[in-house]
Amino acid sequence: MTHKSVRDYIRTIVDFPHEGILFRDVTTLFADPRGFRIAIDQLLAPYAGMRFDKVAGLEARGFILGGAVAHQLSTGFVPIRKKGKLPGRTISVSYQLEYGEAVVEVHDDAIQAGEKVLLVDDLLATGGTAEAGIKLIEQLGGQVVGCAFVVDLPDLGGRKRLEAMGMEVHALCAFEGLCGALTGC
C-alpha cells in the first residue's frame, strides 16, 4: 500500500479562475479525513515541544487549518479578516495587491503583549497577506514564532519575503511556476 503525501490530495484545476491559471484546490485535501489529518499533523511537526499562546489564521482557508491546529495545541484561535468583517474594535493594515490594495484586520484585544503566535494559512504566494498578518500581530505586542502553510509557490517570492522579515517559514509542499495560486497569479 502506498502512502499519499499532502500534495497528492490537492487537485489542480486548469484555467480557473482565468485562462492560463493552474488553480491549486485544497478543498479536496480538507474533504478527505486522512488527508486533512496528515496536513494538520505535518503543520504541527516542526513545532513539537514549543509553547504557543495563540494560533492566527488568515481569511479564509487559514481559518479551517488554524482552527484545527489551535485545537491540537489547546490554544486560542485568532482570525485575521478582510476589512469590515469583525464586529469589535479592530486595528488594520493595508497591503498591495497586483492591482490595487487590500486591508486586513484583527480585534484590538485578540492578542496580548508577549504572547507567542503561530500564523497559519493554506497558501504562500507573494507573501503580502501573511506580511500584513504578521504586522497586525506585532502591533498588538505578539511574537510570531512561526508561519505554517500547506502550499508554497516559491517562484512568487513569498517565502523569501517572510524570511527577510526574520520569520521561520514551514510549508508542506511546493508547486513550481508562476501560476498556481489558489486566488490566481
Position 177 scores a pLDDT of 67
Indicate if 168 belongs to the active site.
Answer: no
pLDDT > 70? residue 1:
no
Position 178 scores a pLDDT of 52
- List Cβ neighbours of 120 (8 Å cut-off, separation of 6 or more): 43, 55, 56, 57, 58, 62, 65, 66, 69, 147, 148, 149
Task: Measure the CA–CA gap between 183 and 2, rounded to whole angstroms.
Answer: 31
Q: Which of 24, 61, 81, 159 is catalytic?
A: 61
Provide, rounded to the nearest whole percent, the portion of the chain with pLDDT above 90.
Answer: 85
| pLDDT tens track for 117-153 | 999 999 999 999 999 999 999 999 999 999 999 999 9
Position 183 scores a pLDDT of 41
pLDDT > 50? residue 16:
yes
> Residue 117 forms beta bridges with which residues?
54, 144
pLDDT > 90? residue 80:
yes
Q: What is the mean pLDDT of residues 21-36?
A: 95
Indicate if 161 belongs to the active site.
Answer: no
Q: Which of 19, 51, 98, 176 is catalytic?
A: 98
- List Cβ neighbours of 149 (8 Å cut-off, separation of 6 or more): 120, 121, 122, 123, 124, 169, 170, 171, 172
